[in-house]
Amino acid sequence: MEIIYIDQLFLINFIIDYFTLLCAGKVASAVIRRIPIALAAALGGMYACVCVLPAWGFALHPVVKLAAGGLMCLIAFGKERQLLRCSAVFFLVSAGFGGLVWAVSMFGGYDLSGKTIYLPLNWKVLVLSFAAAYVLISVLFRRFDSVARQEISTAKVSLGGKTAEFSVLRDTGNSLFDPISNESVMVCQQEVLAPLFSDTQKGLSGDAAEVIELLSHVPELAGKLRLIPYSSVGGTGMLPAFRPDSLSIGGKAVSGTVVAMADAAFSTYGEYQGIY
């Protein structure tokens, strides 16, 4: 009779699920939110514990497994535009990790025949298997996905005690600047700034001057609004912009940067919502 320690089972699966979700998020160029990822990993750990209970044998059904994995992805990446992409990467990472655990275990002399959810493996096997899975899958995605090779970071814009968080791409060819202050300009999609402007954001469309007129009624933006001229392949024009109370990119505070708004998407699959 096999003895299963429920605390060890939960801990092992929590750690594996946490790093698997973290790996999936990084490979898919998603915004890494560690608390939701930890909550999703905790759900995975509890699911593993439920699966070994005699009365819960139905939890091992493939449909239930997919539902549990989907719920974990929803918790970890629910705020991501590319939720389906993150979920697909998560399942691929999980499959790759599981296959490598099996292979490493077989070479190491472990008999896993008949095992379903509980694998009596040592930490060396788990660490080696996960490291190999991470490297192989990361290389695979970075080889065929050009976006993964781009420098994408998380930007946080604060205004009047409110914060908007989204992904931005480092564009080395971005020469946009504020002609008055000579400060650099970060351009982002208007809709990602909704948390800053509440109901006012719903009317932010059309001519840049009209947007400025609408935002002039926001008390927090008093004296912070301006129009930024731009020139691109599609022509020239003006972008509504404002000076935020604070701005951080990749966790580092950035000063001397104006935030401009554009009524357009920056990436096909929503990998990032701004450029700087």
Six token digits for residue 65: 């497994």
Amino acid identity of residue 15, one-letter, is I
The stretches of 57-82 forming alpha helices (DSSP H) are: 62-77
Six token digits for residue 75: 């918790």
In a shared domain, residues 171 and 86: no
In a shared domain, residues 105 and 201: no
Residue finishing a domain among 122, 149, 176: 149
In a shared domain, residues 223 and 119: no
Contact 181, 257 (CB under 8 A): no
- Please report the pLDDT score of residue 242 as a whole number: 93
Token pair 């970060």 in the structure block, residue: 186
- Please report the pLDDT score of residue 263 as a whole number: 83
Domain range for 263: 152-275
Q: Are strands 246-249 and 252-253 parallel, antiparallel or unpaired?
A: antiparallel
CA angle 101, 102, 108 (to 5 degrees): 85
Six token digits for residue 144: 């065929």
Six token digits for residue 53: 């209970």
In a shared domain, residues 141 and 171: no
Report yes or no on 83 lying in a domain. yes
- Please report the pLDDT score of residue 257 as a whole number: 93
| CATH assignment at residue 181 | 2.40.70
- Please report the pLDDT score of residue 71 as a whole number: 94
**Number of domains composing the chain:** 2
Please give the Cα distance from 143 to 150 (Å, whole number). 12
In a shared domain, residues 106 and 220: no
Averages of pLDDT over runs of 10 residues in the chain (276 residues) are 70 83 78 89 89 81 89 89 82 74 59 50 60 63 52 88 90 80 90 78 67 82 88 80 93 92 78 86
Six token digits for residue 157: 């814009």
In a shared domain, residues 127 and 145: yes
Contact 25, 48 (CB under 8 A): no
- Please report the pLDDT score of residue 204 as a whole number: 64
Q: What are phi and psi of 255, to 5 degrees?
A: -115, 165
Residue finishing a domain among 149, 177, 199: 149
